[in-house]
Structure 1
């Protein structure tokens, strides 16, 4: 018997619902880079890692906000009309998931960046260092999909 088929199959409708939900909750480096280059005003990128990790390398335009510091008080002045994209180190780290969870629980609209800064760099996008967010000015990289 097929190993792929042994766990059962979802119907086409179930698959559509599942994959639509994934797209609602996550984004990838190419889509985020396109929005950063376009200076999309609705998007705010949040680096959920420690300040030291942010200073060493972060996505241009991202602000440092470790997920452990996210509370109603620390986000009281944030704009709830924005979409917050959280990221961490990569797929072996759940800091972006914690950040997205905490922000959603506080009433913010969030998405999680697939693969974090690891996949951002693997895809060839620039990084910033230090305390300032920086700006992603341009990219000659095109999504391969």
Structure 2
């Protein structure tokens, strides 16, 4: 079968509207459910990580995962999530086995949405047999949502950004 035939055999979705959102129609519900379920298997967010850390700290329960900050040492010292493990992306091949247990899921993060360091770290870890999720938003959204962090000097916290974290709310309601 030629490439031209293969392309012709898979028609493009019909244009259903001049509305730019609906030019390509939404996926069938079953396809959408499978896609979003898969996305949740790969990603978590700062609010869910913060809630899990708070519950573990309050109840003494096992966290069930290890949080890994994949940024540079300089970035780590500027601020990091309390309880996180520092494992820079470039050092994962040499150091992962010394810091992590393959039986414990790993949640990785880097600076924020504009950085793919956590994605590269997740790939490196998954390629080595670790169960891994990426924390969307990274340390940027952790701090923007008002969660505490540690620096080389000690504990820090900033007020939540009202555009990313509702004032007075323990969770965003998502």
Into which bin does the TM-score normalised by the smaller protein fall?
0.7 to 0.9
Query: Which of 24, 28, 36 is the aligned partner of 1:7?
Result: 24
Matched, 1:115 2:137: yes
The Cα of 1:75 is off from its aligned counterpart by 2.1
Q: Which residue of 2 aligns with 1:48?
A: 70
**1:59-95: CA deviation from partner (whole Å, max 9, x where unpaired):** 1111111000111x42234311111110011000011
Over alpha carbons, which structure has the higher Rg?
2
What is the 5 A alignment of 1:95-110?
Answer: 95-110=117-132
Secondary structure (helix, strand or coil) at the match of 2:150 reads coil
What does 1:123-142 correspond to in 2, within 5 Å? 123-130=145-152, 142=170
SS at match of 1:142: coil
SS in 1 for 2:125: helix
The number of aligned residues is 138
Task: Go from structure 1 to structure 2 and tell me whether the alpha carbon gap of 1:22 and 1:131 turns closer, same or farther (over 3 Å shift).
Answer: farther
Structure 1 residue 141 displacement after superposition? 5.1
Task: Kindly report structure 1 stretches of 4+ aligned residues shifted beyond 4 Å.
Answer: none
**1:11, distance to aligned residue in structure 2 (A):** 0.3
TM-score normalised per structure 2: 0.74
How far 1:130 sits from its partner (Å)?
2.2
Select the structure with the greater relative contact order (CA < 8 A; seq sep ≥ 6): 1
RMSD after superposition: 1.8
Note if contact 1:48-1:67 (Cα within 8 Å) is conserved in structure 2.
yes
Q: Distance in 1 between matches of 2:41 and 2:68?
A: 17
Indicate the residue corresponding to 2:115 in structure 1: 93
